[in-house]
Chains A and B, each alone.
Chain A
Amino acid sequence: MSPKHLEEMYDAVIVGAGAAGLSAALGLLRSPAMAELKANGTEPKVLVISKLQPLRSHTGSAEGGIAASLGNAEADDWRWHYYDTVKGGDWLVDQDAAKLLAQYAPETVVNLERQGVAFSRLDDGHIAQRRFGGHTRDYGKEPVKRAAYAADRIGHQILHTLWQQCVALGVRFAEEWYVTDLVLEDGADGADRRVAGVVALDTHSGQVKAVRARHVLLATGGAGRLFHTTSNSWDLTGDGMALALAAGLQLEDVEFVQFHPTGLAHTGILLSEAARAEGGVLRNKDGEAFMERYAPGHADLAARDVVSRSIMAEVDAGRGVADPKDPDGPRDCVWLDMTGIPAERMEGTLPQVVETIRAYADLDPAKDLVPVKPTAHYTMGGIPVDTDGAVYQWRDGARHTVEGLFAAGECSCVSVHGANRLGGNSLLDACLFGTRAGRAIAARIAEAPVAGEPDPTSADAVDQASRARGEQLAQLLAGADGANGAMDDNPYALMARLGGVMERAAAVRCDAASLAAALEELRGDLEPRAEVLRAHEGTAALNQEVTAIWEVRHLVELGEAVLVASDARHESRGSLKRTDFPERDDERFLAHSMTDASGAVSWQPVHIEDYPPQAREY
């Protein structure tokens, strides 16, 4: 679906149509401010641009659950959820944000239910809840049933429900448009820069479009494709984060990438944590259930970073196993033993897990041990935002808001996940803070809606960026003479190479030498190669290679920021394990890294409100 015509100026453009982008659209359109505006006869001009048809968004792959202290299955308290989130994030969590997350989680989940999500149910008709790693009762005691779920398809249910609600409200989409530029302009009288709009490639027509907007919200998702082994879809190329870098903005805490412990061997496809919540056990080559040794009391349901590192430690100690599909390959997997889960229960509560194992490993989890390996899963860091989704810059020890620019979901960092995200908190983050950002934008629109006439200066800035991008597109397409003959470089090969480099240097653990080597490879080899890429075919319409060229450039730029930030943090915390700095160092690094495209890193103190840092033990 594409808009029949583009408005001269939009009140708001939302980039991305997963849980965060769609929640923002709904939060915006349903807010009291908008209702009032509409009652006065002004229709807000809102457009959602996404590089995929919305139903293809990666939110749909989330399996396990969405965390909320509903207390449906057993007693729970939002303060316990708040504490677990802070502890899970290794105290790099901004506690004001985490408090909101936990407090408004029940409301968020109930609202999803009332919009149509087909949650699994208890016999009494309430939303069912299950245990999930790191979620406990009574500030770190035994596990608690906090994750509301829909079999193991919660993401699919939420994504489709949000899209359905957008259909009900008549939200306008520009689907399969790829945003290439975030355009900022200088504010009046030396004020901070403000948003002017975006430039996007309509992939169907192959035309570059200038989209002017008073407010832009980035909700483009994560960047799992930085790594070879990832649970992320092929489209998670860190576009929003790279757009922010290219516009001269900073990224917060990008060195923290969560590796989900149970990717299905080398496919990287996720086997939900629910597999362990329902009784699955990790075993090494000797059959030992080793997690009890690393995390007494929590064992297989310890936080994800703990489990991933434990798996790597077993592999390093020579107790790993080979993927049965590649018996002579590296012994870099361990077994997931689900044979103790009654077959009927497995089919009922883990259908997706069972199906994935059958289809992609050709194994029967009721009888066979399943090879698993940590897989790049979630970027805790991202575009820095406040609790209303407003993007800011950290400068001179203070936050400076970028007027009109917002972000939500995985591409953003409101810092509820800190150094490691708890399962069930990402959908919650995307839905809750997406909605809040939408409402915040609505309040601003209500103050000064687009009356019809464009803002002359922002028109200039966006048109200029659009012209430049159009010229670049023409260059990429010029001289393409088919793919015959010897294959030279192409973005797909380059992306694979980047994934290998990043994986060797930074997956699960790293040190100064591995980071320096990778940075040299990115700057000395991959970046120049990405710069000279050209399309192999000259038709602009649906030329996927053009999009892939821009994606790989985004990934390389973002990869550099990840490596630089990892190098700057001389400690181990949460998902970041520096083998040369194995301990957490609260003296120096109880702070968020703020990294820009030039490689400059500054530090922003963590907001500590209720829970002072403690040792993080599971």
Chain B
Amino acid sequence: MSDMTAPTTVILRVHRFTPRPERERARAASPFARKASPFGGSSASARRKPRGKQWVQEYVVPARPQDTVLDCLLAVKRTLDPSLAFRYSCGHGMCGSDAVAINGEPTLLCTATVAQWAKAGAGPAADDEGFRRTGIPAQGGDDAGDQGAADAQDSADAGDGSLGVIELAPLPGFPPLRDLIADIDPMLDQIRRLKPYLQADGVLATTEDGKIDVFEYLQDPGQLARYETLSNCIACGVCEGACPVYAGGDAFIGPAALIAASRFVNDSRDTKAMERMDAIDTEDGVAACQSVRACSRQCPRGIDVGEEMWQIVAKVRER
């Protein structure tokens, strides 16, 4: 695809939102709030209709298939519309700041390429019935990237230089704040609730005659392997936005917080595994996971979140 000579473009269809200037402090979510169906609606806080102006805006930008969606959005800021708001920082999938919904699927702007996500057809954002095509494969779909790539090839055949349409919306499951920026504080609060820090015994290793031998805690490569992948979580929120229970608004502490808890449960240096498992053995803890495994699909750190959920649930049950 990189040998294309004619300049190509992509259409970004962005779901925008500008908050109303006179700000009112939103009320805290009521514990008695109506519970939504796990597959419909949105979370308790997101369900409050955001106050402000909402609209869908399309931008046509020059793009090559291998460009990232973030590249395209930065081109919009530079050349078309500096007011478009979206979080971004490192630009290569490490900082976790740019999680959004691309064609309805939560993922990072900086790791998503035009080739993967541009779809043929520049039809309206919603059809006559008001249904929006989300682009999420109905089931299975553990490789949405390939699915999207096939679409992109279809569209490249259109011949007008357009690589197709990419639809962008804020991360599902979190209150939208402005354009593609969502309030992910609820996730960070949930992570913080589970004491996400090492609680070790503080004892220094000693030699046989009682002298201090090593100063670091010893941990062999096998013990490290038990939690290393979990420790790579960047708290981007992609798994949470993909989880129908979490994003659907049910009371659920969420996969990101459970990954953080599991990281310490599996760390040989930590002494609080039992307490940690007690803390997540609750209605809105492991019991709320319905094993849908949508959380695994787009994890930018390659964590099989669904499998890890399964493991920690089993561990909690067996203790």
A164 → B minimal CB distance (Å) = 4
- Tell me the bound Cα distance from A543 to B77 in angstroms: 12
Residues of A with C-beta under 8 A to B219: 121, 125
With A113-B216, A118-B224 known to touch, is A325 a contact of B2 (CB < 8 Å)? yes
Structural contact, A536 and B83, CB atoms closer than 8 A:
yes
How far does the alpha carbon of A542 sit from the alpha carbon of B85 in the complex, in Å? 8
Interface string of A165-177 (1 = CB under 8 A from B): 1011000000000
A537 at the interface (CB under 8 A from B): yes
Query: Which residues on the A side are within 8 Å of B77 (C-beta)?
Result: 490, 492
What mask results when residues 79 to 120 of chain B are scored 1 for a CB within 8 Å of chain A, else 0? 111110101111111111100000000000001000000000
Residue in contact with B89 in the complex, picked from A124, A157, A234, A356, CB distance below 8 Å: A234
B97 touches A53 (CB 8 A): yes
* B-facing residues in A121-147 (Cβ within 8 Å): 121-127
Interface set, chain B 61-88, CB cutoff 8 A to A: 66, 68, 74, 77-83, 85, 87-88
User: Which residues of chain A are within 8 angstroms of B18 by Cβ–Cβ distance?
Assistant: 537, 539
A56 B89 Cβ-Cβ under 8 A: yes
The residue that B92 contacts in the complex, of A61, A110, A324, with Cβ under 8 A, is A61
A288 to chain B, nearest CB (A): 27
Instruction: Tell whether B185 is near chain A: CB-to-CB under 8 Å.
Output: yes
How many residues of B sit at the interface, in one of the four size bands? 35 or more
| B219 CB, min distance to chain A CBs, angstroms | 6
- Which A residues touch B269, using CB under 8 A? 116
B82 x A121 contact (CB < 8 A)? no
Q: Is A544 an interface residue (CB 8 A)?
A: yes
- Which residue of the partner chain B has the closest CB to A125? B218
Known: A118-B228, A490-B82, A545-B83. A58 touches B89 (CB 8 A): yes
Q: Which residue of A lies closest to B90 (CB)?
A: A233
**Contact partners of B89 in chain A: CB under 8 A:** 52, 56, 58, 233-235
Known: A61-B95, A234-B88, A491-B82. A164 touches B196 (CB 8 A): yes
A362 sits at the interface (CB 8 A): yes
The answer to whether the Cβ of A188 comes within 8 Å of any Cβ in the partner chain is no
Contact of A493 among B79, B88, B181, B184 (CB under 8 A): B79
Which chain B residues numbered 214 to 234 have a C-beta less than 8 Å away from chain A? 214-221, 223-224, 227-228, 231-232, 234
- Cβ contact within 8 Å between A56 and B19: no
Would A61 and B94 count as touching, CB distance under 8 A? Answer: yes
In the bound complex, how far is the Cα of B216 from the Cα of A122, in angstroms?
A: 12
Q: How far is the CA of A301 from the CA of B66 in the complex (A)?
A: 32
Q: Does B188 contact A (CB under 8 A)?
A: yes
Contact call A56/B197, Cβ cutoff below 8 A = no
**Residue on B nearest A168 in the bound complex, by CB:** B197
Q: Are B82 and A545 in contact (CB under 8 A)?
A: yes
Query: Shortest distance in angstroms between B84's beta carbon and chain A's nearest beta carbon?
Result: 8
Interface residue B317 (Cβ < 8 Å from any Cβ of A)? no
The distance in angstroms between the C-alpha atoms of A205 and B183, with both chains bound, is 13
A168 to B197: give the CA distance in the assembly, Å.
7
Q: Does B7 contact A (CB under 8 A)?
A: no
State in angstroms the CA–CA spacing of A204 and B23 once bound together: 11
A45 within 8 A of B: no
B184-221, CB under 8 A of A: which get 1 and which 0? 11001000100111101000000000000011111111
Task: Tell whether B297 is near chain A: CB-to-CB under 8 Å.
Answer: no
A544 is contacted by which of B23, B85, B97, B235 (Cβ under 8 Å)?
B85
Residue pair B216, A110 in contact (C-beta under 8 Å): yes
Asked if B13 CB lies within 8 Å of chain A CBs, one says no
A599 at the interface (CB under 8 A from B): no
By the criterion CB–CB under 8 Å, are B91 and A269 in contact?
Answer: yes
Interface set, chain A 98-124, CB cutoff 8 A to B: 106-107, 109-110, 113-116, 118-124
B residues less than 8 Å from A234 (CB atoms): 88-91
What's the Cα separation between A539 and B51 when bound, in Å? 13
Interface pair A118/B231, CB less than 8 Å apart: yes
Q: Which of A156, A487, A543 contacts B79 (CB 8 A)?
A: A487
Whether A483 contacts B82 in the complex (CB less than 8 A), given A153-B232, A156-B234, A540-B21, comes out as yes
**With A53-B188, A60-B90, A125-B218 as contacts: A542 and B178 at CB distance below 8 Å:** yes
Chain A residues contacting B216 (CB-CB under 8 Å) are: 109-110, 113-114, 119, 126-127
Give Cα A120–Cα B228 distance, bound, in whole angstroms: 9
* Contact A58 B178, beta carbon cutoff 8 Å: no
Mark each residue of chain A from 224 to 259: 1 if its CB lies under 8 Å from any CB of chain B, else 0: 000000000111000000000000000000000000
> B36 contacts the other chain (Cβ, under 8 Å)?
no
Does A55 interact with chain B (Cβ within 8 Å)?
A: yes
Which of B2, B197, B219, B224 has most A Cβ within 10 Å?
B197
Which B154-195 residues have a C-beta within 8 angstroms of A? 177-178, 181, 184-185, 188, 192, 195
Residues on B with beta carbons closer than 8 Å to the beta carbon of A496: 78
Contact A60–B214 (Cβ < 8 Å): no
Chain A's closest residue to B5 (CB) is A328
Q: Inside 8 A of B83's CB, which chain A residues have their CB?
A: 480, 482-483, 535-537, 543, 545
Determine whether the beta carbon of A541 is less than 8 Å from that of B91. no
Query: Is residue A532 within 8 Å, beta carbon to beta carbon, of the partner chain?
Result: no
User: Are B90 and A55 interface neighbours, CB within 8 A?
Assistant: no
**Chain A residues with Cβ under 8 A from B192's Cβ?**
167
Partner of A541, one of B23, B78, B95, B227: B23
A160 at the interface (CB under 8 A from B): yes
Given A55-B234, A360-B92, is A492 in contact with B82 using a C-beta cutoff of 8 Å?
Answer: yes
Assess whether B93 is in contact with A359, with CB atoms less than 8 Å apart.
yes
Q: A60 contacts B81, CB within 8 Å?
A: no
Question: Is A615's beta carbon under 8 Å from chain B?
Answer: no
In whole angstroms, how far apart are the Cα atoms of A118 and B270 in the complex? 12
Given A490-B82, A542-B178, also A165-B220 (CB < 8 A): no
Cβ–Cβ < 8 Å partners of B181 in chain A: 542
Give Cα distance in the complex from A46 to B285, angstroms: 33
In the assembled complex, A443 has its CB within 8 A of some CB on chain B: no
What CA separation (Å) do A151 and B224 show in the bound complex?
11
Instruction: Give the docked Cα–Cα distance between A53 and B234 (Å).
Output: 12
Does the CB pair A121–B220 fall under 8 Å?
yes
The answer to whether B90 touches A114, judged by C-beta atoms less than 8 angstroms apart, is no
Alpha-carbon separation in the docked complex, A544 to B214 (Å): 49
A317 contacts partner chain B, Cβ-Cβ < 8 Å? no
* A324→B3 CA distance, assembly (Å): 10
Q: What's the minimum C-beta distance from A162 to chain B, rounded to whole angstroms?
A: 10
Which B residues lie within 8 Å of A325 (CB)?
2, 66
Q: Is the CB of A448 closer than 8 A to any CB of chain B? A: no
Q: Which residues of B contact A356 (CB under 8 A)?
A: 92
Question: Does B81 lie within 8 Å of A536, measured CB to CB?
Answer: yes
B198 touches A164 (CB 8 A): yes
Residues of B within 8 A of A289 (CB): none
Complex formed: what's the CA distance from A483 to B111 in Å?
A: 28
Minimal beta-carbon separation of B82 from chain A (angstroms): 4
Which among B94, B181, B214 has the greatest number of chain A C-beta atoms within 10 A?
Answer: B94
Q: Sorted from nearest, which 8 A-B pairs have the closest CB atoms?
A: A125-B218, A116-B198, A537-B83, A164-B197, A542-B178, A490-B82, A483-B81, A113-B216
List, sorted by A's number, 23 A–B pairs whose CB atoms are closer than 8 Å.
A58-B89, A60-B94, A115-B198, A116-B200, A116-B269, A120-B221, A125-B220, A156-B234, A160-B231, A164-B196, A165-B197, A167-B197, A233-B95, A234-B90, A325-B2, A325-B66, A496-B78, A536-B81, A537-B18, A542-B181, A544-B85, A545-B82, A545-B83
Q: Mark A residues whose CB is within 8 Å of B.
A: 1, 52-53, 55-58, 60-61, 106-107, 109-110, 113-116, 118-127, 151, 153, 156-157, 160-161, 164-165, 167-168, 204-205, 233-235, 267, 269, 324-325, 352, 355-356, 359-360, 362, 480, 482-483, 487, 490-493, 496, 535-537, 539-545, 548
With A480-B83, A541-B19, A542-B181 given, name 11 new contacts (CB 8 A).
A56-B87, A60-B234, A61-B95, A121-B223, A156-B232, A156-B234, A360-B92, A487-B79, A492-B77, A537-B83, A542-B85
